[in-house]
Structure 1
Amino acid sequence: MSSADGSALPAEVMSIASPINIILFSVFTVLVYMQFRPKTPATLPKAPPPVVFRTFTPRTLIEFNGENDKLVYIAVRGRVFDVSPGRNFYGPVLTGGPYENFAGRDASRGLACQSFDREMLTEDLSAPLDDLKDLDAEQLENLQGWEERFSEKYLVVGKLVAEGDPDAPKS
């Protein structure tokens, strides 16, 4: 090739296909491909098994105390909440969570009285449910606050009835 005045162009200008240009073009092509290549589709986490609303008695509720990797349920004023996401606080009994005594139990009186002692729990599981009639206005307000907190944060999975109640599950 020659320029307009008839002189020859230098060899560097004439060669577009020089090794450095080929390397730069290859790197550019790889970068463009990496940017626009098809991505693997995002996979959603596996959904938890469906929860069936059921009726519990104190004897059937006690099974859900979080031991052996079971779910952790707590009853408040007859409603049973799945508090398993808060396992560090509510159970199991062996880990020493601050509310461990309530795992698998009716926690209504203890929450109302702001006491986490075992004395707040009904020891006889076949006894009638605590009617909470002796609570004062402040204790009932405490209990309502806890119940609202549980309702906002945890799923209601059932209701708690006394042994012998017509709604009680048959053994």
Structure 2
Amino acid sequence: MTLTTTLLAAEGENPLIPHTYELVVGSFAFLVVVVFVGRILVPRIQKTLEERTEAIEGGIKKAEDAQVQAQKTLEEYKAKLAEARHEAARMREEAREQAAQIKAELREEAQAEARRLVQAAHAQIEADRQQAFSQLRGELGRLATELAGRIVGESLDDETRQSRVVDRFLDELESADGAAVR
């Protein structure tokens, strides 16, 4: 046994029962701790817990508000996106219509230009035909005069006489062609 246990056992006291002064001091200390904890620490702990609860609830409220705001923003975005798609479709349709209109205008201009070129070509052909006819008429007249001079045996160098003979010959030729065609 230890020395303390031996001494206590010798005195005849029960080691499990505390002394009166220990009970008084212990009770006083317990009251101080209870008052300190009950009056000072518990309100502070409750205040801190309430603040944390409010902060958490405020955070939850802010998160809900943010969620609502995000939902509104998403709906606005979807609406704007749908509007932009609609606008793009409208613009594409307008572009198609303008392209068709420009295509029709270009086709019309090309056809008008083609008609103008055909008319100019016909006019040029007619002018070339008239020029070829007059050159042919002159050449035919010269050959006819030369041939007539050989047949007649006299020179037909006189311009007026030559012109009359050629005109009369060509008129007879044209009237013979007209009668043969009919």
> What TM-score, normalized by structure 1, do the two folds share?
0.26
Higher relative contact order, chain-length normalized (CA < 8 Å, sep 6+) = 1
Larger Rg: 2
Higher strand share: 1
